[in-house]
Amino acid sequence: MTSKQPAPFELPTHLTLGKAVGYETTYNPSLLQSVPRALNRDSLSISNDNLPFHGDDIWTGYELSWLLPSGKPQVAIFNCYVPVTSPNIIESKSFKLYLNSFNQSKFNSVEEVSAILCEDLSTCAGTQVKVDVFTPSEFSALKFALWEGTVIDDIDIEVNTYQPDSTLLQVSKENATETLISHLLKSNCLITQQPDWASILIRYSGSKIQHDSLLAYLISFRQHNEFHEQCVERIYCDLMEFCKPKHLTVFARYTRRGGLDINPFRSNFENTYNNHRLARQ
């Protein structure tokens, strides 16, 4: 097998990503910026017409705040589900700037805020998204989770590759159905090169993936520059191509930055899991 190295791509020139910007405190939906999914999917030879998976990009926002007509502040937490079939991903820094624009804006109710979020984010993604807003009285409904499966992080391996290298993946002749977990996934933001930290769950059935090879492969993303959503799709496609499982789920939960975390879910056999936070989130 030959290494399948990610192909570089250029971002659309109209985006202000990576440039210095001021923070606006009054509602401004134009702050949202989209990135076409095709920029990455073309290099993986997939498109909306032949996606090998279904799922969502699950966002959790912890710093949503606005003013009532009386001027009294309100706070909330929200979940946003962007389908993988959307033509665009929502760029995370623009998402943060957009949320900040609510801070000194007046709205009549949480229902109004929820409706505005849903409309603006759907427009940015290019398809209908789902938004759930939780006020403080509903925070008890937001759960923590402990993934069940085999954690592979304690395997003693030697590592010298820190760019994605799919040739590291190896399978054995026996078959397996298992859930493998690693907390060692790290990549870098495509724009700022800031570190993106994640835990990742891989559930599959098919030829048994050698655990040490999978761990080495996941660690190989450590110096790779790519968006969260793109990294997960690359991992999914590499596993399908080089390990050929019958069933496959790849679910990464990234730690938050600027009050947002991103949790891409991709599967060919099961529905998106509940948005339960892990300890690092």
Same CATH fold assignment for domains 29-141 and 150-267: yes
Termini Cα distance of the chain: 37
Of 80, 124, 189, 237, which is the active-site residue? 189
Q: Is the pTM here over 0.85, yes or no?
A: yes
State the pLDDT at residue 6.
63
d(Cα 238, Cα 275) in Å, to the nearest integer?
25
pLDDT in tens, 202-236: 999 999 999 999 999 999 999 999 999 999 999 99
Q: Which of the residues 56, 120, 196, 261 is marked catalytic?
A: 196
Whether CATH 3.30.1130.10 fits 150-267: yes
Domain boundaries, the chain: 29-141, 150-267
Give, in degrees to the nearest 5, the angle at Cα 149 between 148 and 155: 135
Instruction: Say if residue 7's pLDDT is above 90.
Output: no
Chain segment 111-131, per-residue pLDDT in tens: 999 999 999 999 999 999 999
- Model confidence over 146-160: pLDDT tens digits? 999 999 999 999 999
Decide which of 3.40.50.300, 3.40.50.880, 3.30.1130.10, 2.60.40.1220 is the CATH code for 29-141: 3.30.1130.10
CB 157 within 8 A of CB 215: yes
What residue has token string 């603006």?
120
Across the chain, mean pLDDT equals 94
What are 48-107's pLDDT values in tens digits? 889 999 999 999 999 999 999 999 999 999 999 999 999 999 999 999 999 999 999 999
Query: Can 189 be counted among the known catalytic residues?
Result: yes
Q: Distance between CA atoms of 191 and 206, rounded to whole angstroms?
A: 37
